[in-house]
Structure 1
Amino acid sequence: MTTLAVTSDAISTLSCDALILGVDAEGSVTAHPQLDEQTRAALTETAVALEASGKVGSVTVLPGGPTAARRVVLVGLGDGTDGELRCAAGAAARSCGKKPGTVVVALPGESDRALSAIAEGSLLGSYVFTDYKSDADDEEEQVFTDWLIAGASVAAVERAKVIAGAVAGTRDLINTPPLDLFPGAFADIAQGYGKQQGCDVQVWEPQQLADQGFGGILAVGMGSARLPRLVRIQWAPEGAKQTVALVGKGITFDTGGISLKPPKSMETMKSDMSGAAAVMHTVLAAARANLPVAVTGWLCLAENMPSGTAQRPSDVIRIYGGKTVEVLNTDAEGRLVLADGLVRAIEENPDVVLDIATLTGAQGVALGPRTSGVMGTDEVRTEVVAAADAIDEDMWPMPLRPYIREMVLSKVGDLKNVGDPGGQAGMLSAGMFLKQFVGDANWAHLDIARPAFNEGTAYGYTTHGGTGAAVRTLFEFLERRANA
C-alpha cells in the first residue's frame, strides 16, 4: 500500500527510512526551504567527496549521517525543469530499497506544477507489480510506503495521486497475463471501476456486436474461444462544455492470427491492449479529478488467435457503418477493431476524437522505443503534441500525405488492411487507413506501439514492463480542453 502526503517539518529532524535530496551541476546538495544550511553543507561535503553527479537521474546513496533518516538518496536534477524533476524523483524512488517504509522527498520545486511532477515521479518510480509473486499474500513481504513531499500543497499532491494512479492502473492491466485478462474480463473490470467512479458503462456482448454490424471487432475476435467485447465508459458532468471521445485498441493477446507471428515477437503481446487500458484509466482519472469535460472511452476488445474459426487472409469484412475491408494480413488487426470504434464514437458527434493504439512495428522503426507518433487533422495533432510536450512525454507529429491513401485502397473491397507490400510507410499507411473512418471529424491517432512496453531496464520513473504511455498526455489534453 502506498500513501502520499505533505510535510512542512524540518527535513533533517524527520525520522524516515529514506530522504531524497537533489544534486546540482557542481555536485552540491540543492537548497530547500525546509533543510537547514548546516546539514546541507555537511551532506554536500560528502557528496563532493563521492563525486555525486548532477546528471538527471544519477543516484548516490549515503548513510543518514547528519539527518534522522536511515539513508540519504542524492539524485541529479540537471537543469531542474519539471520533466527533469519528475525523472529525478522516479530514479531516486527506485533506489530507496525493496521495503522503503517512510520516504521524505525534498527536491526543490518552485511551483505547484513542479511539485506535482516530483510527487508523480516518486509514485511512478516506486511502482511494482507483485500480483503473481508467490509471497505477495504474506503481510511481512508486502511493501508499505508512506511518501512525504516536502513543501508541496495539498492540491499538487492530490493531482499527482490522480495522474500516477491512472498510470499505475494502466500498467497493472498491461502486466496482467492474458490467461486472466481477456475481453470479457476486461469488460468486467471496466464495469467495476466505472461504478466506483460514477461513470456510465455499457458493454456490447458478442451477439449484440453481430446484430449491430461491428464486423471489425468480430472478425479479429472470431478465432478465439474468448469472444470480443466493445465497452463504452463515460464521464459526463453537468455543464460540460467540451465532449471528447477516446478510442482504444484492446487486443488482449495478439498471436497475429492465421498470419502467425514468430514466437519471439509474441512475448510482449499481452501489451497489445495498452491503448484500451490508457483510455479506460484516463476516463476514470477525469472522473476522479471531477474535470468539467465530458469524455467517453471506447474499448475495442478482442483476442487475436489462430483456429478453425479465425478470419483468413483474403477475407472481406464489413466495418460498422458499411465500408468493406479486404484482410490481407490478419496481424494488421488493430486497425480493424479501431475502425468499428471510431465510426461508433463519431456517431455521438464529439468535439474531438482521439484513438490510442499499439498499432505498428513501423512506429518503433521510425521513432524508436520511447517516442510515440501522432497523426490526424493538423489542429488536433498539434494540440496533442503540445499536451505531450507540457508534461514531457515524448510524442512526434507525423504527416498523412494524400498519396498514402492509394496504398490502402483495395481492388476487391473499399480498403485493404495493409499498405505498401514493400513495407514502406507502415505507420503512416495504418494512420491513413483509420482516417477513412473519421470523415471530417476533428481527430488524431496516437501510435504507442513501442513506448507502451519497456522491455529493457528501468529508467527515470519508467519501470520494466507496461509503462502507461499516453495516459499523462491524455489527461493533460482533457485538462486543457476543460479550461479552454
Structure 2
Amino acid sequence: MPTAQSILTHSPDLAAIEAVTTPVESEVVVVGIAAGADRGNGGAESDAAPVVVAPGLDGEVTAALATLAHSVGASTKVGSTTRVPAPEGVPGRSVVLVGLGSSVDEIGDETLRRAAGAAARACRGLGAALVLLDAERVEAVALGAALGSFRPAKVTAKNDDDEKADSVKVFVAEGGADAVTRAATIAECVGLARDLVNTPPNLLFPGSFADRAAELAAAAGLEVEVMDETALADGGFGGILAVGGGSSRPPRLVRLTHRGNDDRPSVALVGKGVTFDTGGISIKPAAGMEQMTMDMGGAAAVVATVILAARLGLDLTVVATVPMAENMPSSTAYRPGDVLTMYGGTTVEVQNTDAEGRLILADAIVRACEDSPSHLIDTATLTGAQMVALGRKTPGVMGTEEFRDRVAELSRGIGEGGWPMPLPEELRDGLDSEVADLTNVTPHRWGGMLSAGLFLKEFVAEGVQWAHIDVAGPAYNDGGPEGYLPKGGTGVPVRTMLAVLEDIASAD
C-alpha cells in the first residue's frame, strides 16, 4: 500500500479483471440468487428455494446451489452476500451467493453492477475469484466487479497486499472479452478519481494536484498546460486568485486536451478543484470539516474523464479546464465585501467566502468557452443545497434544457442517477449587486443549488450547450460501502460524463 511519499503516484487498488469463456478453477466462485416463485410472508423473502443464476454450470449443480442457498437462508436482496462451502461440481473451494433481487426477469444492468460490486468486495483477500452472473451483459458485471474491488489508498508503513484478491475472472460468451477490457479501463479511471478525492489535503494541494494531473495526462498522450499564480495574475483570473489567496500554497489552472478529428465536435469539461475548503473568512463549523478534502471531487472526475476519453480513443476533441485552489483564512485571504474582477471582465461582489467554488468555476468556464466548444459540462461539489433537495446520491443537473435533459437521462441510464433541475428566473434577481455586476450568493436561503447554477450561467458563452452537475453528496460516501461504491470518494460523475461524450461522438 502507498506511503506518504508514494500515494500520489500509485495506481488505483483494483483487482485484475479478465474474461474467461469456460468456468475455471478458482478459490471462490460468485453466483447470483433471485427470489423463487413462492412469495410468502406478505411478499418479503420467498419461502421457496431461490433461483440460481450461474451461467456455465449445469442444471444439477445449480439445483444443488439453490438447495444450499435455501438451507442457509441466503438473502436475495440486491447486493447481499452469503459465503458457503462449494458443493460438488463447482470449480472452487467456496461460493459467494449474491442477491439479484425479487425476479430473474427484472435483473437490469445496474442490478448486475451492484451485485458484482458487492460480491467482489466479499471476495477480497480470498484469492482468485470467478464471477458467474451474466455471460451476455458482461460489461455491467465486469465494471461492477472492478469498481467493487477498489480499496482506498492508505498512508501507512504496513503492507496489506495480502488482503487483495489475486484476480477476478468474469465468465463471458464468445466475443465478450473486449467488453471486459473496456470495463477494466473505465474502472481504472473511476478509481483514479476516487484516489484523488481520498488523498489527504497535506499531500494533495494545488501544486501537487496539478503535477499529478499533468503526469497522468502526458502518459495518456494528452496536451498539457499548467498556469501558476504568476500566469494567472497576468491573465486576469480574479476568481481563482482570490479563492487561493489565503493559502501559502498558491492556485493553479490546468488544461488537458484530448485531440480528435477537427471535423468532429469539441466538448469542454470544467471541474471544481478546491483541494481543501475551510470556508475562508466565512469559516465553516469544525464538525465535519475534515471531509472538505473531497471538495475537489469535480476536478478529480474531469481529470479522470479526459484521460479516459484518450484511453478509449473517442473521436472528438475534449478539453478539460481545471481550476485548483485551497480556500484558507489568513491575512491575505479575500473578504466578504470584496469586489473581484473575473476572467473576462465581469465583476462579482463577495458576500460569502464559503461560496468559493462558483468563483473559480466562473473563471474556468470563460476560459473554456474561448475554445468555442459545441458543448460544455461543468461539475462540482458545489452546494449543500443539492443534498437538501435531492439527497446524498442524486446529482442535480442544470443548464440549457435540451442538453440538461440529455445528460440527466444518460446519467440515470448508467446508474449515477442525475436528475434535471430548473433555473427559475425569479431567483436571478437575488444575484444583483449594488456595487458590482453580480453577487456570489443570494440574500435568502431558498433554492441554493439553483441560484449557484444561475450564477454559473452568467459565464457560459452564447450558443454553447451547457450542463452543470452538482455532486456535493454523490461524489463522497461518508457511510459504509454499498454495491460497487466504497466509503470515501465515489468517482461520480466520471461515468456520466463518459456516457455523454460517447453519445455526442456517435450522434453528431
**TM alignment of 1:314-353, pairs within 5 A:** 314-353=337-376
Counterpart residue number, 1:424:
446
Counterpart residue number, 1:369:
392
Find 1:83's aligned residue among 88, 95, 110: 110
Counterpart residue number, 1:355:
378
Unaligned stretches of 5+ residues in structure 2? 1-13, 37-48
RMSD: 1.4
The question of 1:17 aligning with 2:27 is answered: yes
Contact 1:19–1:105 (Cα < 8 Å) also in 2? yes
Counterpart residue number, 1:46:
68
Return the TM-score normalized by structure 2.
0.91
Counterpart residue number, 2:299:
276
Counterpart residue number, 2:182:
159
Counterpart residue number, 1:145:
166
Counterpart residue number, 1:107:
133
C-alpha separation in 1, matches of 2:277 and 2:343: 22
Percent pairwise identity: 49
The question of 1:170 aligning with 2:183 is answered: no
Counterpart residue number, 2:312:
289
Find 1:298's aligned residue among 306, 321, 327: 321
- 1:107-160 superposed Cα distances (whole Å, 9 cap, x missing partner): 0253xxx31011011011111023313313x66x46352111101512111110
C-alpha separation in 1, matches of 2:165 and 2:483: 21
Find 1:397's aligned residue among 420, 432, 435: 420
- 1:264-299 superposed Cα distances (whole Å, 9 cap, x missing partner): 131210000000000000000010001111101111
Unaligned stretches of 5+ residues in structure 1? none
Find 2:56's aligned residue among 30, 34, 55: 34
- 1:47-97 superposed Cα distances (whole Å, 9 cap, x missing partner): 111222322112121112322312211111122100110011111111114
Q: Secondary structure at the match of 1:219?
A: helix
Counterpart residue number, 2:16:
3
Contact 1:454–1:465 (Cα < 8 Å) also in 2? yes
- 1:378-404 superposed Cα distances (whole Å, 9 cap, x missing partner): 011011012112212111111001111
C-alpha separation in 1, matches of 2:264 and 2:346: 32
Q: Which region of structure 1 is more displaced relative to structure 2, 349-358 or 77-86?
A: 77-86
Residue identity opposite 2:199 in structure 1: T
C-alpha separation in 1, matches of 2:53 and 2:270: 45
What is the deviation of 1:424?
0.9
Q: Which region of structure 1 is more displaced relative to structure 2, 118-127 or 31-40?
A: 31-40
What is the deviation of 1:32?
3.8
C-alpha separation in 2, matches of 1:42 and 1:476: 40
Structure 1 pair 217–314 and aligned structure 2 pair: CA distance change class (3 A)? same
Aligned pairs, number = 474
Contact 1:86–1:122 (Cα < 8 Å) also in 2? yes
Structure 1 pair 265–412 and aligned structure 2 pair: CA distance change class (3 A)? farther
Contact 2:55–2:135 (Cα < 8 Å) also in 1? no
Contact 1:248–1:277 (Cα < 8 Å) also in 2? yes
The question of 1:461 aligning with 2:484 is answered: yes
Q: Secondary structure at the match of 2:435?
A: coil
Counterpart residue number, 1:61:
83
C-alpha separation in 2, matches of 1:267 and 1:182: 15
C-alpha separation in 2, matches of 1:265 and 1:59: 32
Residue identity opposite 2:35 in structure 1: A
